[in-house]
Amino acid sequence: MFITRDYLYTVLGILCYTASLVYLADHIFPHPLLMTIYSLLGGCLLFFSFISITLLNRLIIGILFIAGTIVFITNDVPYLEMLYGFGQNLNLLSLFLLVPLIGTYMSTAGYLSALKQKVQQAEKRGVEHPYRLSYFLVATIGALLNFGALAIVKRIADESFHSFRERKLTLHMMRAFAFCMLWSPYFVNVALVLVLFDVSWFGIGGYGFLLAIIYGLISMIMLRYISFSEDPLMEIEERKSDVTYRPPASFASLLIFSCSFVACSFIFYRLANINMLTIVCLLAIGHPLIWAIFTKITRSYLHDVATQIQGSFVRLKNEIAVFITAGYFGLAISYTDLGDVVSTFIHTVSLGHVYLFTVFIMLIALLLAQIGIHPIIIVIGIGSSLSPEMFGVSPEYAALTLLLAWTMATQLSPFSGQMLMAAKLMKAPRSHIIRQNALFIVICFFVLSSVLFSFHLLGWV
């Protein structure tokens, strides 16, 4: 009996979620056996994702894996410890896998249909601000739904707005997505810096949100300068959508569900001795399921979850390869004195000045992202090597610096998730998007790095 590709991908999708659940179980009830199991599953997922990704990604992943293995061997690291390297970033992968369950429930319950109807009603009343409204929608629901928000809001725009330029709107939405990356605890980059520098979300969340507000203002100002050569004005006199249609759930239900999820996140974070990443993963499993039970859509919800699980490996194979390899490489680095070497080098190049340190870190991330190195590799490589005390900054400041570096890099990298998503939605080459975003990112680069440095001067972080 031959195993078909679809069957294999389904099994691998189930393995992805199994590894995440075992990781969470180990975090609640620590046991070496559980760590060994999810590390083995991580190694298995790395192998199959490696043979499924593009040649360029394979090259980068292969170099990191070989380098990490050489470091392990030369430092006589036990084989079991090397195995644990495959499970090092299972926490981040779990976040990537489990948070979308929130969006799955919203879709099953009809909340997204209710949101679309609300937008259509606003359009019918003559409230026509497609760019502003799209930005607001992505910046709000994107904090929970991650990449899914871009496709959802684009579909709402196509079915609701009467007049807009498609490519201009999509690029503005892509910029809105980065708004969430600066502060949302449901994003993998925020979770990563919290773990790397062992800081509380409450120590950086407010400052990240303030940076996001300034970033949003720059986005609004720079909107007028978005101009694609082939981007005709889409004007539709009358939509076929019936705004009198009553979705299975109300807009108020969407607000209550979202607010309760956020509230539970912060309440448990305050009360429990568990990091935000684990709390978010556990809530992403339990919160939608409890709501599905009370709203009597459990069967439909579980069916949609099963469908999502089956397609998860195909959808996230690149992230799986990158995340697991980055964790493996990061653990290897911890057995060397590379951290001291990198910190000394950056300190020398930045002349010991905090602002130059900030700019240099962001610039490294931008340049490396252009050649296909995923921001998680950059952030883990730099973050695990940096000693904030050497630069006279707090761990919170270093965490915010890496958040800015990741956010700026993904807005210009031809290989980032939102760049690929935006290019697909607007049917435009990535090079065109990068050209349109270049000036915007240059302005954000200097303005936001200066604002962050002012936080340091004021003694806030």
Q: How confident is the model at residue 1 (pLDDT cuts 50, 70, 90)?
A: low
Query: What is the average per-residue pLDDT within 412-429?
Result: 87
Residue 82 has pLDDT above 70, yes or no: yes
How many secondary structure helices (H) and strands (E) does the chain include?
A: 22, 2
Query: What is the average per-residue pLDDT within 57-79?
Result: 93
**The pLDDT value given to residue 246:** 53
Query: What is the average per-residue pLDDT within 324-329?
Result: 93
Do the domain assignments include residue 214?
Answer: yes
The number of folded domains in the chain is 1
Q: How confident is the model at residue 433 (pLDDT cuts 50, 70, 90)?
A: very high
**The pLDDT value given to residue 302:** 97
CB 134 within 8 A of CB 157: yes
How far, rounded to the nearest angstrom, does the alpha carbon of residue 224 sit from its chain's CA centroid? Answer: 27
Do the domain assignments include residue 136?
Answer: yes
CB 194 within 8 A of CB 201: yes
* The two three-digit tokens of residue 157, written as one number: 């725009």
How far, rounded to the nearest angstrom, does the alpha carbon of residue 142 sit from its chain's CA centroid? Answer: 10
Radius of gyration of the chain (CA): 22
Residue 331 has pLDDT above 50, yes or no: yes
Top pLDDT among 347 and 446 is at 446
Query: What is the average per-residue pLDDT within 276-294?
Result: 95
**The pLDDT value given to residue 411:** 92
Judged by phi (left if over 0) then psi (alpha if -120 to 50, else beta), residue 392 lies in left
Do the domain assignments include residue 264?
Answer: yes
Candidates 12, 10, 14, 28; CA nearest to 91 is: 28
**The pLDDT value given to residue 120:** 82
Residue 246 gets which letter from DSSP? -
| Residue the block writes with tokens 């590709």 | 5
Q: Which residue(s) pair with 233 in the sheet?
A: 165
Residue 141 has pLDDT above 70, yes or no: yes
Judged by phi (left if over 0) then psi (alpha if -120 to 50, else beta), residue 427 lies in left
Do the domain assignments include residue 219?
Answer: yes
Q: Which of 12-21, 23-32, 164-173, 268-277 has the lowest mean pLDDT?
A: 268-277
Top pLDDT among 125 and 248 is at 125
Query: What is the average per-residue pLDDT within 57-82?
Result: 94
Do the domain assignments include residue 269?
Answer: yes
**The pLDDT value given to residue 382:** 85
Q: How confident is the model at residue 356 (pLDDT cuts 50, 70, 90)?
A: very high
245: domain range?
95-310
pLDDT, averaged across the chain: 90
Top pLDDT among 241 and 191 is at 191
The share of the chain scoring above pLDDT 90, in percent, equals: 63
Do the domain assignments include residue 291?
Answer: yes
**The pLDDT value given to residue 240:** 52
**The pLDDT value given to residue 237:** 61
The share of the chain scoring above pLDDT 70, in percent, equals: 96
Do the domain assignments include residue 280?
Answer: yes
Do the domain assignments include residue 254?
Answer: yes
